[in-house]
Structure formats: structure tokens, C-alpha cells
């Protein structure tokens, strides 16, 4: 029987390692998955590898291939993973743990939470429903529910991340989690298993491959609805959401977006493209600290983005909702 051995540190640097092992063994007759080596796990890696592992297991089940999870030994990492809903995410029935969203979380983290697409009634209600679904996580990441610049930043970020899923991916659910460390560092992760960036942008643009799609998706004024009528653009998309988030996150830490066959990470204007087989879209934000003057920073970024869009032949302006705090 082949064995998949997970790394000791389940973090963003280990996602490709896990991905390659899963791909190499997906059609093997018998495979066992060993998670006992994990001694530390982070939100983004749990979310992405959890989705990969579940889809890999489902594929093997359809092929009637033998798959087993090696019995876990008790350690702090496994307890944390079970508590935040990782084993529910991968579809394991053998490990006792919380369902996704069941754990109450704490002042420093929120568990893996499944958010379902709200019904669209009108734009104001749409935004209100999405904000309601992420307000608790914003409170955790900001360290307080008070209306501060930091809280506004996290609420805006989470709102735009969830909006992006339900307005472009055709997914009916997404998975989100977050962590705030004692030194002020923050990690936010969101994942959907929808159509992916390339297919989404193809509604309005000719996109040759997944790498070009990722690079285009973070440009100002670029959206799957860029070339549709205003009647069809019911969400009032303007193509500034991912642009704003990528600019802020890469200035204060790292912004990662992955879809289908490619992953793009940005830090301090440096772009790194890598291979990754992932069905859907993942976005990760790792911050060393939050911006102190988010309101003014948002205005500056949008102003610069509108100028950049016009310089490249687009008349797109950021929508009122993209500017809404």
C-alpha cells in the first residue's frame, strides 16, 4: 500500500508538496494517508490541502480504489485541526472533531466556516447579508468589535473576498477561516470550488491560460462583467475589489491567489508564479500588520487604480460599493 506522508509544518510552503503527492497517487490501487507527522498547521494550508484531500478521496471512491486514513496519535496540532473543522472538511467520519463552523472560536481565531450564497433581492440587501456573514471574523481579526480603522479594513476585506466568490465563481458555498497572532500578524483564507478565474474572465476577455488570468484578475477595472450590459451587471461590479486587496496585502505582507493550474503570490510588488493543481479559486492574505489609516489609503489606491485603468484604455471607475466602508 502506498503512503502519503504529510509534512511537519502544514503551511503555505507545503501546499505544493501535498498536491504533488495526491496527484501522483490518485489512481493507485491502495493508498493510506498519514497525518501523524503534522506538528503545526496554519489556516491557508488547512483550507487548501483539506479541499484537495476531500476531492482526491471522492475521486478514488468513484473509482472504487482503496483509501484509508492512518489512525491519529494525540498531539496539539491534531486537536486544533479537529476543533476548527478540518476533518469535517475532508469528509472523514473516523476522526471525532467539530463540524465546520461549530466551534465558537476565540479572540484569536475563527474555525473553518462554510458560507452559503445568500439570495439576491437587491444590492443593498446583498451587501448586508454578506457583511453579516463575516462580521464575527472581522471582530476576531481586529481584536475588537469597535468601529476602528483596523476593524473597517478587515470588514471591507472579508466582504470583498466573499463578494468575489458569489458574484463570479458560480459556487454556491465558500470556506473561510482566519487567525490573529499575539504579535499582530493576521492570516485570512477563503476558498471556493467554482469555475475558476480563467473561465470567469472569459465572459468578458480572451484569456490564453491560467497564469495570464491571475495576472489580469488583479488589474484595476478588470471583472468578468467588464464587457456585459449594465442590466446584466446586477452586482454593480467595477473590477476593483481584487486590485485593492492585492495592493494592500502585498504592501503589508503577502497576497496569494490560486486557480486551476497556477498560483500567484505577491510581496512588495514582487510576483511569483508557481504550478498548482486546484479546482476552483483560493485567496490568501497574510499581514504583518494592518494599515492604520485604511480610509485614506483606500481612496489613494482607488484613485491610482482609476488612472491606471484609463492609461490602459479602460474607462472603468470604481463602483460606490468598492468605495464603501
pLDDT tens track, the chain, 325 positions = 899 999 999 998 899 999 999 999 999 999 999 999 999 999 899 999 999 999 999 999 999 999 999 988 888 999 999 999 999 999 887 777 889 988 877 778 889 999 999 999 998 999 999 999 999 999 999 988 999 999 999 999 999 999 999 999 999 999 999 999 888 899 999 999 999 999 999 999 999 999 999 999 999 988 888 777 777 778 888 889 999 999 999 999 999 999 999 999 999 878 999 999 888 999 999 999 999 899 999 999 999 999 998 898 887 788 777 777 6
Residue-level pLDDT at 312: 85
Q: At what angle do helices 15-25 and 43-62 cross, to 10 degrees?
A: 10
Q: Are residues 85 and 122 in the same domain?
A: no
Residue-level pLDDT at 325: 66
Residue 104 lies in a domain: no
Question: What CATH number corresponds to the domain at position 40?
Answer: 3.30.750.24
Q: Are residues 140 and 76 in the same domain?
A: no
Residue 6 lies in a domain: yes
Residue 113 lies in a domain: yes
Q: Are residues 21 and 151 in the same domain?
A: no
- Choose the final residue of a domain: 37, 56, 89: 89
Residue-level pLDDT at 137: 92
Q: Are residues 50 and 79 in the same domain?
A: yes
Q: Are residues 77 and 212 in the same domain?
A: no
- Class of residue 282 by CB neighbours under 10 A (exposed 0-12, middle 13-18, buried 19+): buried
Question: What CATH number corresponds to the domain at position 202?
Answer: 3.30.565.10
Q: Are residues 202 and 55 in the same domain?
A: no
What is the count of structural domains for the chain?
2
Could you list the residue range(s) of the whole structural domain that residue 130 is in? 109-323
260: left (phi over 0), alpha (psi -120 to 50) or beta: left
CA triple 289-292-293, angle to 5 deg: 140
Residue 102 lies in a domain: no
Residue carrying C-alpha cell 484569456: 207
Give the predicted TM-score (pTM) of the model. 0.92
- Choose the final residue of a domain: 59, 89, 119: 89
Q: Are residues 176 and 35 in the same domain?
A: no
Amino acid at each position: 500500500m502506498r503512503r502519503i506522508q504529510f509534512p511537519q509544518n502544514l503551511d503555505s510552503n507545503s501546499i505544493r508538496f501535498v498536491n504533488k503527492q495526491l496527484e501522483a497517487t490518485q489512481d493507485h490501487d491502495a493508498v493510506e494517508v498519514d497525518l501523524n507527522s503534522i506538528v503545526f498547521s496554519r489556516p491557508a494550508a488547512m483550507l487548501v490541502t483539506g479541499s484537495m484531500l476531500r476531492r482526491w478521496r471522492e475521486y478514488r471512491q468513484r473509482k472504487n480504489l482503496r483509501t484509508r486514513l492512518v489512525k491519529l496519535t494525540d498531539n496539539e496540532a491534531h486537536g486544533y485541526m479537529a476543533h476548527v473543522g478540518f476533518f469535517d472538511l475532508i469528509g472523514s467520519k473516523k476522526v471525532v472533531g467539530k463540524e465546520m463552523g461549530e466551534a465558537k472560536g476565540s479572540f484569536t481565531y475563527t474555525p473553518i466556516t462554510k458560507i452559503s450564497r445568500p439570495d439576491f433581492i437587491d444590492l443593498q440587501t446583498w451587501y448586508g447579508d454578506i457583511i453579516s456573514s463575516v462580521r464575527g471574523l472581522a471582530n476576531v481579526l481586529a481584536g475588537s468589535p469597535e468601529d476602528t480603522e483596523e476593524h473597517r479594513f478587515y470588514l471591507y476585506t472579508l466582504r470583498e473576498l466573499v463578494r468575489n466568490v458569489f458574484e463570479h465563481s458560480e459556487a454556491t458555498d465558500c470556506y473561510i477561516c482566519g487567525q490573529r497572532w499575539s504579535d499582530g500578524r493576521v492570516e485570512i483564507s477563503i476558498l471556493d470550488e467554482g469555475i475558476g478565474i480563467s473561465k470567469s474572465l472569459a465572459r468578458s476577455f480572451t484569456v490564453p491560460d491560467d497564469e495570464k488570468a491571475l495576472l489580469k484578475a488583479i488589474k484595476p477595472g478588470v471583472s468578468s462583467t467588464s464587457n456585459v450590459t449594465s442590466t446584466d451587471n446586477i452586482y454593480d461590479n467595477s473590477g476593483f475589489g481584487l486590485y485593492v486587496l492585492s495592493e494592500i496585502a502585498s504592501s503589508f505582507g503577502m497576497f496569494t491567489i490560486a486557480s486551476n493550474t497556477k498560483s500567484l503570490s505577491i510581496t512588495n510588488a514582487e510576483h511569483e508564479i508557481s504550478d498548482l493543481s486546484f479546482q476552483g479559486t483560493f485567496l490568501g492574505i497574510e499581514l504583518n500588520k494592518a494599515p492604520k489609516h485604511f480610509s485614506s489609503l483606500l481612496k489613494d489606491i482607488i484613485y491610482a487604480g482609476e488612472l491606471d485603468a484609463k492609461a490602459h484604455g479602460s474607462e472603468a471607475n470604481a463602483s460606490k460599493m468598492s468605495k464603501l466602508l
